[in-house]
Structures are given as structure tokens and as C-alpha cells.
Amino acid sequence: MKRVFIGILGLGGVVIVALLVLLFVMSHRLKGNIEDSINTQLQALQESIPEFSYEPFSCSGLKQIACKSSSVGFEDMKLENVRLEVGQFTQSQGSVRIVSEKISFAGEELLTLLFGVLAQDVDFSNVLLPKSLDCSISGVLGKSEQAQDVDIMDTTATCLAKGENLSYSFAWGMQAGVGAMLEQAPAHFSDALASMIKAYEEDSQKVLTQTPVLFKSAKLSLEPKDLARTIITKLAQDKELEPQAYQQQHANLARSLQSMKAFIMYIALLSDTKGKAQSLEPLVDGVLAMVLGENNGVVYELKHNETNTDKPLSLGEWLHNPVQSLQQSRAIFSFEEVPLDSTKVESKKD
């Protein structure tokens, strides 16, 4: 079901917003104390998004600025030992990187509920949940078709949440109309961001309501590493299995996963109001095939709909509800299974 994965990708947009704030602040090095600026901007973000939480950052360095926080969180997910780094800044672009050595999850009830079908007394969180996070975001200034001066900024972000047996890759792209926030043609990327910060400080509501944001793409990829063998070994209580015993455990796992699928589809049908619950089935099948070691991962993607002529949503609308904004953008959804030989990908569109 497309809206399920729109939700996942939309929540990822919150991370991008946080990184974009940091890109703005950390690029503008001459304006006051960068440490205070970051914490002030994150406090404002927390007021806009109550589910967002953070511990204050402390910064060090002169030419290469780095800032650290003990934790940054969103709802039940918390990043620990967070480090922010400024990348290279040129005339037209700049970047920021965020690294977390540890990811913790406060709520694992859904995971426990689903995988309790396999074994109620086995903890699969270490197998299925990521341990670390590495994200980068870059902004590139440009001109729209009929503009004489810089009036847009393309923002791209990539994240890798890496686990022992399953890694999650996330990519996001959007374009913002920034012409109204620029007092003059910027000589450097930092100058452009300085003008944007000034415009926001002078009239934040105007910036939020009058800055158009065009969604371009979002992608979530799951990549397994010895996932099936690790799960089967856990089910066998970490015992070494002979080939025949392993195949029997694999067959048992396949049957249990079908029970899990039936449960997921039942819940989907109960909540389905538009008759699209069945479109979820191939997406579930792809994930279950990954768990069984029958593919090399799955990819969920949303792309800009070229036929959508609706007016772009504002920055404020994206910040207020990224999930709903993705739905309103009428993005084209696709799902792919990465085959074991990885030479071609089977694609399914919704």
C-alpha cells in the first residue's frame, strides 16, 4: 500500500529538515557563536515538531568545525553520540554531514508482535534494526528557466543506517524557490544562506508561507547481509545445523512468514477505505523473500510526477506535515526487488 511507504519516507523528511537547518547555520560561520546558533535553531525546530528532541550541541575547531551532542531523537528513535561536520563550500554549493555511532529504539512493540510468530522468546531487534547512522546533505544554487539570477536551491540528502544483518539506505531530493529571500545575486553559497537566514529572522511566517518547495524524489532501500542464515541460527538457539536440518528450519521459517503475511494483510484490509489493500501484497512478498534469502533486498521509491500541474506546496506545509505533503504531491510510487545475481531488477509500480 503506497501510503504506508509514503509515511516512512515522509518521516525521513524530518531528518532532512533538521540537516537543512544545520546546513544553514553551520555555513554562516561569521554570524555570532555557531554553537548557540545551532541550539537556537534546533529549539525552534523542536517547537514546530514536538516529536523532535535533542541535547545541546557543543562545537570546536576553527577551519574545520565539528559539533557534538549526546543525543538527537524523533519519537521512539534516538541517535546517540551525534557528530556534525561542515563539508566543502564553493560559490554555488555546500554540504553538512551528521554521524551517529549508536541508534536506539524505545518502542519495538510492532517488531515483537510481528516476529513473535517466529519465536516468542527470541529477540530479533539486533538482527533487524540499524546500529549506526551516516547522513549528508548538500545544497546547490541555480536558476530556473526564465530567471536571470539565482532563484532556486536543489537539496539532496543521503543516509545509511547500518545494522549487522540489515542496512537501510535513504535518499531524498527537493527544490526550493529561494529568489524572494535573496537581496542580490550571491557571490558565494554562504552569502546566499546568510540572506535566507536574515529573511527568516525578519519574517519567518512569510518565508514559511511564500517559499515554494517542489518534491523531486525519495528512495528507501533495504540491503540484507546473511539475514536468512542469522535468523535461522537464532531460531535454532545458535546451534550449528547440518544441511538437511537447515533446510527444514528454512521451510519452517517460510511457513511462519506466511502466517505473518496473513496477519499484515488482515490489518491492512481492516483499515482499508479505498480498496487498495491488495496492492500491499507484492511489497510484503518482497520483504519476506528478503528474509528468506531469496533476493538481495528491496527498494521503495517515490518520484516527481511530471503531469502534476498543481502549485508547489510551501515550506511551512512540508514542515507541518511531510507525510501529507508527499501524498498531495501525487508522486509516482514504485517497488523493486533486487535479484540474487543483482544484474537486473524486477520493478512494480502502483
CB atoms within 10 A of CB 280: 22
Terminal Cα distance for the chain, rounded: 8
Determine the pLDDT at residue 151.
85
Determine the pLDDT at residue 65.
74
Residue 116: half-sphere exposure toward Cβ, Cα within 13 Å: 9
CB atoms within 10 A of CB 135: 22
Residue 99: half-sphere exposure toward Cβ, Cα within 13 Å: 8
Backbone angles phi, psi at 220, to 5 degrees: -125, 120
CB atoms within 10 A of CB 166: 21
Determine the pLDDT at residue 296.
95
DSSP bridge pairs for 139:
94, 155
Report the alpha-carbon angle 177-172-106, nearest 5: 125
In Å, how far are 84, 96, 246 from 57, measured between CA atoms?
9, 15, 49
- Measured CA to CA, the distance from residue 280 to residue 292 in angstroms comes to 19
3-state secondary structure of 1: coil
Q: Is residue 173 within 8 Å of 20, Cβ to Cβ?
A: no
Q: Is residue 346 within 8 Å of 337, Cβ to Cβ?
A: yes
Determine the pLDDT at residue 127.
86
Q: Choose among 178, 135, 177: nearest CA to 157.
A: 135
pLDDT in tens, the chain (350 residues): 344 444 444 445 555 555 555 555 555 554 346 787 778 878 887 887 788 889 998 887 766 778 899 998 877 778 899 998 877 778 888 888 889 988 887 655 556 555 666 666 777 878 888 899 998 888 898 888 877 788 898 989 899 999 999 999 999 898 888 888 887 788 888 788 778 878 887 888 888 888 888 888 889 999 999 999 999 998 888 888 899 999 999 999 999 899 888 888 888 888 776 667 777 888 889 999 999 999 999 999 988 887 777 778 888 888 777 777 777 777 888 889 999 875 444 445 55
C-alpha cell at 282: 507484492
Residue 25: half-sphere exposure toward Cβ, Cα within 13 Å: 26
Backbone angles phi, psi at 131, to 5 degrees: -110, -30
- Measured CA to CA, the distance from residue 133 to residue 169 in angstroms comes to 10
Determine the pLDDT at residue 109.
56
Q: Which residues contact 243 (CB under 8 A, 6 or more apart)?
A: none
Q: Is residue 72 within 8 Å of 343, Cβ to Cβ?
A: no
Determine the pLDDT at residue 19.
56
Determine the pLDDT at residue 292.
94
Determine the pLDDT at residue 99.
92
